[in-house]
Amino acid sequence: MKTASAAVLALTLALPLLGARPARAAEPPAPATLTLSAEGVSRLAPDMASLSLGVVTEAPTAGEALRVNAERMTKVMAALKKAGLADRDIQTSGLSVSPMYDYPNGQPPALRGYQASNQVTASVRDLARLGPVLDATVNAGANTAGQVGFGLSNPLAAENAAREAAVKALNAKADLYARATGHTGVRLTALSEGGFAPQPRPMMKAYAMAAPMADSAPTPVAPGELNVSITVSGVFEMVK
């Protein structure tokens, strides 16, 4: 009985101590967050161009079509180098030989001959020479051309300018949301880049070249303007 009484007495003395502990403070609510994205664009003139051109020939045999094609393409390559293009700026992009058929009504296909095609991609680093390069290759025997694409030899400065513009736009958008919801400001907690893309003006479309143009005016070329765009995303905490 003495042991039981001692236990009851100890529990009785401990109860006031337990009740005297301060109540745990309620945790403040988590701050509201924003997840936003914004785009930055820098605009500048291109300083180089990529030109696709080539030679297509037809002959009764595959060997003859290839032989004639090789002769003409050798002259085209020589014209590109004479126009000032380095070996590193000339790259073969397509080479093929294929049969050609006629399809008379009600008759089996009839072999008409063979077509050989040799295409190259040339990088022109001086845009003032782009028109003369086109004319020189036509005069040398090129009879097909693809698209002309304009670009930048060193895009880093344009990309960085687009990044700065994107971050400024992102911060401005976050501040606007904060004010509109009664907050005093925002705190950036995460930032990511979504990539960049040069956005050129429409390029010259593919066309078939006609006869040499030695006596005609130089081919006019308008490089226009490039828009280099970068998208950034950020997570913000809004501050009361």
Strands 144-151 and 207-208 turn out to be: antiparallel
State mean pLDDT over 5-10: 49
Q: In the prediction, which pLDDT does 29 show?
A: 78
CB atoms within 10 A of CB 139: 16
- What domains are defined for the chain? 29-45+155-208+223-240 (3.30.110.170), 48-151 (3.30.70.2970)
pLDDT band at 205; cut points 50, 70, 90: very low
State mean pLDDT over 137-154: 91
State mean pLDDT over 166-176: 97
**131 burial class (0-12, 13-18, 19+ CB within 10 angstroms)?**
middle
| SS3 assignment for 11-37 | HHHHHHHHHCCCCCCCCCCCCCEEEEE
pTM for this predicted structure: 0.68
DSSP state of 71: H
Q: What share of the chain is helix, strand, coil (3-state, %, to 5)?
A: 35, 40, 30
210: pLDDT strictly greater than 90: no
Identify the residue whose tokens are 């078939």.
208
Give the integer Cα–Cα distance in Å for 71 and 51.
Answer: 21
User: Which residues are CB-contacts of 65 (< 8 A; sequence separation ≥ 6)?
Assistant: 57, 58, 59, 97, 113, 114, 115, 116
Nearest by Cα to 200 from 165, 229, 230: 229
DSSP state of 52: E
